[in-house]
Amino acid sequence: MTRKYFGTDGVRGKVGHYPITPEFVMKLGWAAGKVLSQTGTKTVLIGKDTRISGYMLESALEAGLSAAGLNAALLGPMPTPAIAYLTRTFRAEAGIVISASHNPYYDNGIKFFSHNGTKLPDEVELAIEAMMDQPMDCVASNKLGKARRITDAAGRYIEFCKSTFSTELSLEGLRIVLDCAHGATYHIAPAVFQELGAEVITIGASPNGLNINEQVGSTAPEALIAAVKQYRADLGIAFDGDGDRLAMVDHTGELLDGDELLFILAQHASRQGTLGGGVVGTLMTNMALELALAEHNIPFVRAKVGDRYVMEQLQQYGWKLGGENSGHIISLDHNSTGDGIIAALQVLKASVGQGLTLNELRRDLVLFPQRLVNVRFAPGSNPLESDTVKQRVSEAEVKLADNGRVLLRKSGTEPLVRVMVEGANRQLVNELAEYIAEAV
């Protein structure tokens, strides 16, 4: 069935524009409540990031859930993975996150977690969409849902994060710069790393409702790189606005992307005998990671782009570790969704446990040069079906042989074809990307 409202990561858009309006979000809360209220505790957790619109959307969801007869437990600003964790531990019916992740403050979104802390199954999202088409009603007054605030949510999650780091290890002696993107980790991450012994320097930890992700965070790592150099730190960690992805910087100021972090985690887990199978990446995962994992006899499969699809493959294979080069890392040993703080702690566990710096841990993986060209096309046309495009892709694949690959995919939001070429030879990669893009 075609989805009307839900994308791959919930409902998202510009605040004040359909569908991110108070009216729509109230009805979305009601529709979700009607679908989810058939069993269980009749309590839904609501958390948010630091956007100013979170207050408005939280109230709208609360009203909709109450009208459907469900109670709302309000967590306040909390990382997305914290809401997944707390949904499980509170045995709640579901968890709702108000966030637009790494987007600017004027965007926002609503996404849901099931009672077990994973994204809602397709059939449940479709049932909610179907309920949105029904006229909104209200349960009897004595059946209305109540709302309460969970005052110790931050403390609960801080202790959970710390519990994923080995009790035999400490971060003592490490100077770490944390960039919280003026987002949901601002009051969580510093406490986690300080309580584990690190000297912590924070940037991007003063949210005002309007500055989330503004020239800080994992999607703008320049601020972190500069701070690591300025304070001569051992490493730096940047989160995005809702805390489900990260980037890390070594002591020299070099940035590690999600593929390099995934390699460090996979290699360490394999050595420890805790990997439990293979690794899931995406269509955008650098080919060098695939080849490096093969050298260590670690199986690897690719999913479609999006952590939702990484999770599907992990569940299909019964594996535990997967991620994207954007810094979404899923470690099912520890949490049911991508978690930036916990992923960073697992990288540090590998570093401290082996007595190696991030710079040393990354040396066994040299990423292939990658060129991405976005090509706009006329609506109604389909460049991917062009014989000329297909011919040039075939020629490129022959030239790259086993040391590179070509990927063409349409954007899901605008009329663009993304032409990606990667390989061992940077000049050849650039030439082939332009050659294919010209045909597109």
Mean pLDDT within 138-160: 96
Q: How far is CA 331 from CA 311, 342, 345, 420, in A?
A: 10, 8, 11, 27
Give yes or no: residues 201 and 310 share one domain. no
The pLDDT of residue 2 is above 80: no
How far, in Å, CA of 212 to CA of 298, rounded? 38
Give yes or no: residues 425 and 313 share one domain. no
Mean pLDDT within 354-362: 96
Give yes or no: residues 27 and 127 share one domain. yes
> How would residue 328 be classed by pLDDT, with cut points 50, 70 and 90?
very high
> How would residue 1 be classed by pLDDT, with cut points 50, 70 and 90?
low
Domain final residue, candidates 254, 287, 319: 254
Mean pLDDT within 77-81: 98
**Sign of the Cα pseudo-torsion (165, 186, 211, 230, in order):** negative
CATH code at 412? 3.30.310.50
Q: Is residue 355 part of a domain?
A: no
In the structure encoding, which two tokens stand for residue 315, read together?
């569940």
How far, in Å, CA of 121 to CA of 113, rounded? 9
> How would residue 413 be classed by pLDDT, with cut points 50, 70 and 90?
low
How far, in Å, CA of 371 to CA of 431, rounded? 10
The pLDDT of residue 101 is above 70: yes
Mean pLDDT within 248-261: 97
Give yes or no: residues 308 and 236 share one domain. no
Report percent pLDDT > 90 for the chain: 91
Q: What confidence score (pLDDT) does residue 102 get?
A: 92
Q: Is residue 157 part of a domain?
A: no
SS3 category, 107: strand
In the structure encoding, which two tokens stand for residue 230, read together?
């300025």
Give yes or no: residues 250 and 271 share one domain. no
Give yes or no: residues 79 and 126 share one domain. yes
Give yes or no: residues 116 and 32 share one domain. yes
The pLDDT of residue 337 is above 80: yes
pLDDT digits (tens, 9 = 90+) for 207-245: 999 999 999 999 999 999 999 999 999 999 999 999 999
Give yes or no: residues 250 and 284 share one domain. no
In the structure encoding, which two tokens stand for residue 241, read together?
């606005």
Give yes or no: residues 118 and 229 share one domain. no
The pLDDT of residue 3 is above 90: no
Q: What is the pTM of this model?
A: 0.93
The pLDDT of residue 109 is above 90: yes
Q: Is residue 363 part of a domain?
A: no
Task: Say which amino acid occupies 270.
Answer: S
Q: What confidence score (pLDDT) does residue 8 get?
A: 77
Q: Is residue 96 part of a domain?
A: yes
Q: Is residue 2 part of a domain?
A: no
SS3 category, 373: strand
CB contact at 8 A, 182 and 208: yes
Q: What confidence score (pLDDT) does residue 39 get?
A: 60
Q: What confidence score (pLDDT) does residue 419 get?
A: 95
Q: Is residue 269 part of a domain?
A: yes
Give yes or no: residues 145 and 179 share one domain. no
CB contact at 8 A, 319 and 253: no
Q: Is residue 426 part of a domain?
A: yes
CATH code at 241? 3.40.120.10
How far, in Å, CA of 343 to CA of 188, rounded? 14
Name the average pLDDT for the chain: 95
Q: What confidence score (pLDDT) does residue 379 get?
A: 78
Q: What confidence score (pLDDT) does residue 9 get?
A: 82
> How is the beta sheet containing 370-376 ordered, strand by strand?
370-376, 416-423, 404-410
The alpha carbon of residue 393 and the mean position of all alpha carbons in its chain are separated, in whole angstroms, by 31
Give yes or no: residues 134 and 238 share one domain. no
How far, in Å, CA of 249 to CA of 179, rounded? 11
Domain final residue, candidates 213, 234, 254: 254
CB within 8 A of 278, min separation 6: which ones?
293, 298, 299, 300, 301, 317, 319
Domain final residue, candidates 318, 340, 362: 340
Q: Is residue 304 part of a domain?
A: yes
Q: How many domains does the chain have?
A: 4
- Catalytic positions are 101
How far, in Å, CA of 115 to CA of 125, rounded? 14
pLDDT digits (tens, 9 = 90+) for 11-44: 999 999 999 999 999 999 999 999 988 666 699 9
> How would residue 312 be classed by pLDDT, with cut points 50, 70 and 90?
very high
Q: Residues marked as binding for Mg(2+)? A: 101, 240, 242, 244
pLDDT digits (tens, 9 = 90+) for 183-210: 999 999 999 999 999 999 999 999 999 9
- Domain containing 381 equals 370-439
Give yes or no: residues 136 and 215 share one domain. no
> How would residue 414 be classed by pLDDT, with cut points 50, 70 and 90?
confident
Instruction: Annotate 286-333 with DSSP letters as a single string.
Output: -HHHHHHHHHTT--EEEE-SSHHHHHHHHHHHT--EEE-TTS-EEETT
> How would residue 367 be classed by pLDDT, with cut points 50, 70 and 90?
very high
